[in-house]
């Protein structure tokens, strides 16, 4: 039978958050900032290892600012990332996109960081605690508590394996791609037929760097069996991963070291960059790891009393480093919805419909573009054109591509992702059709993303988003960005 802690720490809780990664810590920060009582349960002890090291400007200048950790991140000594360098497409030479080339960002916000996630995630979680969230490590959630049709709490084991029950107005599942709790929201987890890849990765000391001023860029290189990421984490440490077809799984299963070495040898550019490097074999970076980079989405993101955010809700192929962006963005959207309901400013249905449609739209933008981008033999200009079409941007094609890659695409019409994919392969169309739940409101609600205008400061655009007039029931962000208010 469950118990409550003797200290009473879990009495009168408004929200329980499962997981302390970027999604969970962002959400916890922004709900606690409004004075609500938040308990965050993390099964591991921080700092802990995590993949997903290349951030987008939307995270650095949006999420980090609104959660109050921007200065901590700036002082952490992370490698500054000016953009991305790619050996991808028909051109035999590498090409570079610089975030600062977009008028939305400019020099002031035209950068992000390559981060060691052990350090970055700790900064975010510490920020949540400073903002008032109760953070509890080594707590394993074993189930949810349901009353009739509503989720009303969770059961968990503490570090001493003692079971407790905590009741709350909301349960937020931010426990990542291995989440089992997500099933309590209902619906199904749908896996993409288009993106079914495997990532094999390790860490190297002494690898070569791109020429200045782009030495901190993520280097993305296509090769016969897939593509490589090459992420500088310090002057000497590099994260190197091969994303390959699932048919190569037997080769990986037989011997990870030989498989990774073999893929490096098959890619002349990466082979050259690692010619004088050696793989790290000790400590948290000493393993060769495998992850199934199977893109997926849940058919439901919420139910009364419970919401899914981050990888618990959906995941898309990592070629554009969108993982932390989507995690933080979902945490922001969900925080607005929970704050609004707790403060009785909008109904639960209104708040979480806004959350789900905005989140699905942002996910869909990346999914749709990547379905085009995976044609790694196309002309570069075709990628720019596709970015403009997919985001329905008023800017030029190159600028649209940069903004999308920075996590700041700006579509301006109420078209569904499926409608915009009519001219792509039927397989991708079918996959995208399954992404969105049946709803007559989808076309109206999928009308805008996170950016309002090209002249406002980037953090304001990320904070407040586009005010939509194309749907009478749509909401907009409050002046502080922490809740929803109805359109006037």
Predicted local confidence at residue 194, as pLDDT: 84
Which residues, 6 or more positions from 232, have their beta carbon under 8 angstroms from its beta carbon? 79, 114, 207, 209, 215, 216, 238
Q: What is the pLDDT of residues 319-358, one digit of tens each?
A: 889 899 999 999 999 999 999 999 999 999 999 999 999 9
Q: Cβ(242)–Cβ(230) under 8 Å?
A: no
What's the predicted TM-score (pTM) here?
0.87
Q: What percent of the chain has pLDDT over 90?
A: 68
Q: Determine phi and psi for 148, rounding to 5 degrees.
A: 60, -115
**Domain that includes residue 228, residue range:** 193-293
Report yes or no on 265 lying in a domain: yes
Residues 329, 311: Cα–Cα separation, whole Å: 12
Report yes or no on 351 lying in a domain: no
Residue 452 in this model has a pLDDT that exceeds 50: no
Report yes or no on 222 lying in a domain: yes
Q: Which of 433, 426, 382 is nearest to 88 (CA)?
A: 382
Report yes or no on 409 lying in a domain: no
Residue 253 in this model has a pLDDT that exceeds 80: yes
What angle do the packed helices 348-373 and 397-405 form, to 10 degrees?
Answer: 120
Q: How confident is the model at residue 439 (pLDDT cuts 50, 70, 90)?
A: very low
Q: How confident is the model at residue 393 (pLDDT cuts 50, 70, 90)?
A: confident
Read off the CATH number of the domain in which 261 is found: 3.30.9.100
Q: Which of the two residues, 103 and 67, has the higher pLDDT score? A: 67
Residues 383, 375: Cα–Cα separation, whole Å: 9
Tell me the average pLDDT of the chain. Answer: 86
Report yes or no on 217 lying in a domain: yes
Report yes or no on 224 lying in a domain: yes
DSSP class of residue 204? E
Predicted local confidence at residue 371, as pLDDT: 86
Instruction: Provide the 3-class DSSP secondary structure of residue 59.
Output: helix
Q: Cβ(101)–Cβ(110) under 8 Å?
A: yes
Report yes or no on 483 lying in a domain: no
Instruction: Provide the 3-class DSSP secondary structure of residue 43.
Output: coil
Question: 151 is written with which tokens?
Answer: 């989720």
**Domain count for the chain:** 1
Residue 214 in this model has a pLDDT that exceeds 80: yes
Q: What are the beta bridge partners of residue 296? A: 191, 315
Report yes or no on 413 lying in a domain: no
Determine which of 25-29, 45-49, 219-223, 367-371 has the lowest per-residue pLDDT on average: 367-371
List, as one string, the DSSP characters of 380-418: HHHHHHHHHHHHT-SS-HHHHHHHHHTT-----S---HH
């Amino acid at each position: 039978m469950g118990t409550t802690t003797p200290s009473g720490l879990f009495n009168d809780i408004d929200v329980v958050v499962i997981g302390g990664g970027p999604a969970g810590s962002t959400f916890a920060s922004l709900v606690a900032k409004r004075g609500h009582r938040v308990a965050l349960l993390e099964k591991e002890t921080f700092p802990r290892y995590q993949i997903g090291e290349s951030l987008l400007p939307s995270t650095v200048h949006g999420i980090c600012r609104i959660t109050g950790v921007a200065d901590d991140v700036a002082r952490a000594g992370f490698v500054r990332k000016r953009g991305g360098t790619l050996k991808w497409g028909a051109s035999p030479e590498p090409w570079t996109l610089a975030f600062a080339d977009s008028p939305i960002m400019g020099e002031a916000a035209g950068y992000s960081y390559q981060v060691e996630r052990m350090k970055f995630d700790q900064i975010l979680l510490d920020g949540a605690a400073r903002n008032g969230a109760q953070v509890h490590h080594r707590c394993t959630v074993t189930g949810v508590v349901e009353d009739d049709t509503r989720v009303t709490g969770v059961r968990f084991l503490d570090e001493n394996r003692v079971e407790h029950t905590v009741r709350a107005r909301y349960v937020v599942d931010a426990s990542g791609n291995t989440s089992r709790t997500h099933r309590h929201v209902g619906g199904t987890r749908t896996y993409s037929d288009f993106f079914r890849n495997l990532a094999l990765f390790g860490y190297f000391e002494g690898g070569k760097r791109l020429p200045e001023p782009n030495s901190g860029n993520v280097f993305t290189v296509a090769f016969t069996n897939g593509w490589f990421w090459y992420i500088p984490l310090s002057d000497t440490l590099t994260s190197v991963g091969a994303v390959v077809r699932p048919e190569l799984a037997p080769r990986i299963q037989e011997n990870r070291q030989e498989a990774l070495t073999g893929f490096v040898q098959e890619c002349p550019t990466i082979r050259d960059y690692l010619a004088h490097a050696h793989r790290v074999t000790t400590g948290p970076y000493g393993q060769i790891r495998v992850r199934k980079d199977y893109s997926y989405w849940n058919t439901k993101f919420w139910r009364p009393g419970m919401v899914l955010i981050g990888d618990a809700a959906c995941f898309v192929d990592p070629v554009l480093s969108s993982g932390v962006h989507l995690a933080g963005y979902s945490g922001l959207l969900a925080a607005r919805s929970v704050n609004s309901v707790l403060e009785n400013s909008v109904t639960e249905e209104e708040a979480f419909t806004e959350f789900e449609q905005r989140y699905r739209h942002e996910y869909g933008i990346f999914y749709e573009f990547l379905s085009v981008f995976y044609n790694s033999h196309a002309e570069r200009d075709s990628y720019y054109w596709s970015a403009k079409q997919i985001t329905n941007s008023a800017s030029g094609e190159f600028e649209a591509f940069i903004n999308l890659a920075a996590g700041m695409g700006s579509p301006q019409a109420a078209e569904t992702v499926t409608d915009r994919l009519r001219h792509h392969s039927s397989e991708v169309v079918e996959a995208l059709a399954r992404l969105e739940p049946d709803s007559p409101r989808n076309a109206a609600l999928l009308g805008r993303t996170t950016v309002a205008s090209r002249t406002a400061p980037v953090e304001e655009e990320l904070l407040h988003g586009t005010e939509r007039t194309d749907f009478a029931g749509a909401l907009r962000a409050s002046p502080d960005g922490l809740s929803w208010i109805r359109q006037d």
